[in-house]
Chains A and B, each alone.
Chain A
Amino acid sequence: GQFLGGLGFVMVEKGTSLLKMMEISVAEAEKRTGKNAVNMQETYTVYLIETRPVDAASEGTNPVPDSLWRRYSEFELLRNYLLVTYPFSVVPPLPEKRAEFVWHKLSADNMDPDFVERRRVGLENFLLRVASHPDLSSDKIFYSFLTEENGWKETVFETGFQAKADSRLKALNATFRVKNPDKRFAEMKHYGDELQSVISQLLRVRARAADRLYGVYKVHGNYGRVFSEWSAIEKEMGDGLQSAGHHMDAYAASVDDILEEEEHYADQLKEYLFYADALRAVCRKHELTQYELEMAAQDLTSKKQQREELATGTIRTFSLKGMTSKLFGQETPEQREAKLKMLETQIEEGEELVKERNAECEEFVKSAWVDIERFKEQKDHDLREALISYAIMQISMCKKGIQVWNNAKECFSKM
Chain B
Amino acid sequence: MSASVVDNTVSSGNSSVAIPTDISGQILDLDEDDELEVFSKDTSTTQTDGSSFNASMQTSPASMINQYKFEEEEEDADTKDIFVTVDNPESHVTAIETYITYRVETKTTRSEFDSSEFEVRRRYQDFLWLKGRLEEAHPTLIVHPLPEKFVMKGMVERFNEDFIETRRRALHKFLNKIAEHPIFSSSEDFKIFLTAGSGELTSHKKQGPGFLSRMGETVKAVAAAVRGVRNRPQEFTDMQEYAEAFSQKISSLDKVTQRIVREQKEYLEELKECGPTYALWSQSEQELAEPLKNVAGCVDNCCKETEEQVKHLNDHLIPVLHEYVLCADTLKAVLRRRDNIQADFEGKTEALATKKADRDADSKVLSLAWDSLVGRSPEEVKQQKQQKLKGEIKEMRDELDKAEDRLEWANNALKTDWTRWQKVMRTDLRSAFIDTAERNVSYYEKCLAVWESFLQSQRTDAEGNGKVDSS
Contact = CB atoms under 8 A, between A and B. Distances in A.
Interface of A: 1, 8-9, 104-105, 107, 112-114, 191, 194-195, 198-199, 201-202, 205-206, 208-209, 211-213, 215-216, 218-226, 228-230, 232-237, 240, 244-246, 249, 252-253, 256-257, 260, 379-380, 383-385, 387-392, 394-395, 398-399, 401-402, 405-406, 408-409, 412-413, 415
B213 interface: no
Contacts of A209: 267, 270-271, 274
Interface residues of B, number: 79
Nearest to B34: A232
3 A-B pairs closest in CB distance:
A212-B267, A409-B437, A401-B444
Contacts of B430: 237, 240, 412-413, 415
B81 interface: no
B441 interface: yes
B434 A412 contact: yes
B14 A228 contact: yes
Contacts of A199: 281
Interface string B8-21: 01101111110110
A402 B448 contact: yes
Given A212-B266, A224-B17, A256-B1, A235 B256 contact: no
A206 B23 CA distance: 21
A405 B437 CA distance: 5
B38 interface: yes
B178 to A, nearest CB: 24
> A224, A237, A388: which has the most chain B beta carbons within 10 Å?
A388
A402 B445 contact: yes
A390 B295 contact: yes
Interface string B270-305: 110110011011001101100110010010001000
A228 to B, nearest CB: 5
Given A1-B470, A232-B33, A395 B15 contact: no
Given A230-B249, A385-B471, A215 B444 contact: no
A140 to B, nearest CB: 33
Contacts of B437: 405-406, 408-409, 412
B137 to A, nearest CB: 30
A201 B284 CA distance: 14
A287 B426 CA distance: 76
A26 B1 CA distance: 20
A195 B2 contact: no
A389 B458 CA distance: 11
A215 B38 contact: no
A246 B256 CA distance: 16
Nearest to B469: A388
B326 interface: no
Nearest to B251: A226
B440 interface: yes
A221 B470 CA distance: 38
A409 B264 CA distance: 21
Interface stretch (B60-68, B120-128, B198-206, B449-457): B449-457
A210 to B, nearest CB: 9
B5 interface: yes
B1 to A, nearest CB: 5
Contacts of B438: 405, 409
A29 B85 CA distance: 69
B273 A205 contact: yes
A225 B29 CA distance: 12
A230 B292 CA distance: 47
Nearest to A191: B284
A12 to B, nearest CB: 13
Contact of A232 (B4, B36, B444): B36
Nearest to A249: B17
B35 A232 contact: yes
Residue in A114, A205, A383 with the greatest tally of chain B CB atoms within 10 Å: A205
Contacts of A228: 12-15
Contacts of A195: 281, 284
B298 A226 contact: no
A222 B287 CA distance: 46
A206 B273 CA distance: 9
5 contacts: A219-B259, A229-B33, A391-B454, A392-B451, A415-B430
Given A388-B458, A408-B437, A216 B17 contact: no
B444 A398 contact: yes
A220 B256 CA distance: 8
B470 A395 contact: no
Contacts of B159: none
Given A9-B470, A222-B19, A415 B3 contact: no
A409 B263 CA distance: 22
B222 interface: no
B52 interface: no
Contacts of B2: 113-114
Nearest to B243: A233
A269 B342 CA distance: 73
B278 A415 contact: no
Given A105-B5, A195-B284, A202 B441 contact: no
Nearest to A407: B437
Contacts of A213: 267
Contact of B260 (A105, A216, A408): A216
Nearest to A250: B17
Contacts of A252: 17
Contact of A205 (B277, B444, B451): B277
A205 B20 contact: no
A391 to B, nearest CB: 5
B284 A215 contact: no
Given A221-B15, A406-B437, A412-B434, 19 more contacts: A112-B4, A194-B284, A205-B270, A219-B23, A219-B27, A220-B260, A222-B28, A222-B252, A225-B9, A225-B12, A229-B249, A232-B36, A384-B287, A384-B458, A391-B451, A395-B451, A401-B444, A412-B433, A415-B433
